[in-house]
Structure 1
Amino acid sequence: MKNRRLFWSIVERIEKLIDSGQYPPGSRLPPERELAESFEVSRPTIREAIIALEVLERVEVKTGSGVYVLEHKKQNTEHVISAFELTQARALVEGEAAALAATTISEEELARLKQTLVEMEKGINPDAADKEFHLIISTATRNNAILMAVSEFWKLRDSSPSVKVAYKGVCSQSDEKRTEEHMDIYKALESRDSQAARAAMHHHFNRLINALFEASEAKALEEVRRQTSQTRDLYSLSHLVS
């Protein structure tokens, strides 16, 4: 957990260097070894930071060539949706979608849901299986407005850099829990139990949003520690009493 918190501070420091003009769009970042020495962290930590910067669309990794800075695409702040907002909206809409689908889902759709569970258990592209699972349920409602809403949620999840980074940090660490929660939803749908389906879907999203909060708190705590460490180094009197 400490290393995961640490790489976020490196992401922010590199972004500041990019925004300051030290590394303008089109320029190449220093090699991994030099960055590790410059920031006094391990090379794996630098790799984590580069992956996050790539997801945020701040850099592009060209195999065999290096890491290049991209032109920053600023979002319209009036329409920026956070991972927390998205998750809450999904819980509200998909909870009711599951309740409705429990009364309308076909045997064929149940079979397709079960196949996504098999794929998740075996680690066969679990993210794609996760998406298909939720879209099958939305389709099973026989309500095109619900299907459209859930489809738009997934488009946002797949296109918003900040949401992609937030979800990547928690989903990749909880594949087993995600599969168990999907199994509970499936069992409720199979039993045609609307109340149980709604509760299982809400439980699934409650765990996810709590994981997002924990990751956010860890990042904030690491930033406070970093700032405190810098202040301590600046005003330390240890050289006077040693």
Structure 2
Amino acid sequence: MKAQATPRLYKEVAAKLLHEIQSGNYAIGARLPAERDLAVKYDVSRPVIREAIIALEVQGLVDVRVGSGVYVHSTTGQTSTPAGNVSAIELTEARLLIEAEVAALAASQITDEELAELESLVVQIEQENKTVGGKEEADAAFHLAIARATKNSALVENVERLWELRNTSREAALLHEKARHANIKPVVDEHTAILRAMQERDPAAARNAMRTHLLQVLDSLLFATEQRAVDEARRTVQAKRERYSQLTA
């Protein structure tokens, strides 16, 4: 008998929220409870609630209004269930498992020409970071170059697929966009550490450097969702200060 995969927790929460919306508990135009209240209600962490909201947002079911909250936009999205594509958190977890081992293998196989390519791409990453609205193309090229250095076409295909999902999965693309808006960009020092491990042809160091980098990516994605909440709170406080100033002027 084939084992059934357990749904990710955020998808379960998104399904419950969708059920409440479709049951009429939250009418079109209604604001959903605050993130902290939903976290208590469903007994999950706030990052899980954020992922669930993103799953609903990409389906057109809710509108996330900065400084105001999350509002019901429709009772039926692009599908009748929350988005089933890969979230940015899921995707980065998969990259963490796969690309760390890819880096280890690449370190033992990489050529001088491939090392020169990686070194050039690190410089390009730094240049893209200084460009407003940069597309992070050098970052993708860096990781794909490491995959090719393994000389294993199956691994290359897997890493290419992961990066394709990063750009085509609505949930993943949305959270990465939020990260860019929070001014989160590829960290040059982390890519430099991966490059140095490759130059030393040290598989263990390459694995650790890639793991460190992708763990930081995970932290950054969580920060991007948290930053939005922080920004909203700051705007609310500022609005209250301005109202108070008018009253006491």
Shorter-chain TM-score: which interval?
Answer: 0.5 to 0.7
Residue 112 (structure 1) shift? 1.1
Give 1:7-26 correspondences, 5 Å limit: none
Residue 209 (structure 1) shift? 0.6
The whole-number CA distance in structure 1 between the counterparts of 2:189 and 2:199 is: 15
2:156 matched to 1:147? yes
Cα separation, partners in 2 of 1:56 and 1:141, compared to 1, 3 Å: same
* Count of matched residue positions in the alignment of Structure 1 and Structure 2: 167
Relative to its length, the structure with more helix (as a share) is 1
Equivalence for 2:79: 74
**Residues 100-131 of structure 1: CA deviation (Å, up to 9, x unaligned):** 00000111111111111111122265610000
Q: Which consecutive residues of structure 1, in runs of 5 or more, have no partner in the other structure?
A: 1-15, 23-51, 59-70, 230-242
Q: Which consecutive residues of structure 2, in runs of 5 or more, have no partner in the other structure?
A: 1-20, 22-26, 30-53, 61-75, 238-249
Among residues 176, 183, 193, which one is paired with 1:184 in the alignment?
193
Equivalence for 1:88: 93
Residue 174 (structure 1) shift? 3.2
Cα separation, partners in 2 of 1:163 and 1:75, compared to 1, 3 Å: farther
Equivalence for 1:234: none
Among residues 150, 163, 166, which one is paired with 2:172 in the alignment?
163
The whole-number CA distance in structure 1 between the counterparts of 2:28 and 2:78 is: 15
**Residues 177-209 of structure 1: CA deviation (Å, up to 9, x unaligned):** 621111110111011011111111011111111
TM-score normalised over the length of structure 1: 0.58
Cα separation, partners in 2 of 1:115 and 1:82, compared to 1, 3 Å: same
**C-alpha RMSD of matched pairs (Å):** 3.5
Equivalence for 1:6: none
Residue 75 (structure 1) shift? 8.3
TM-score normalised over the length of structure 2: 0.57
2:127 matched to 1:118? no
**Residues 42-74 of structure 1: CA deviation (Å, up to 9, x unaligned):** xxxxxxxxxx9xx9596xxxxxxxxxxxx9633
Give 1:212-231 correspondences, 5 Å limit: 212-219=221-228
2:220 matched to 1:211? yes
Structure 1 SS opposite 2:151: coil
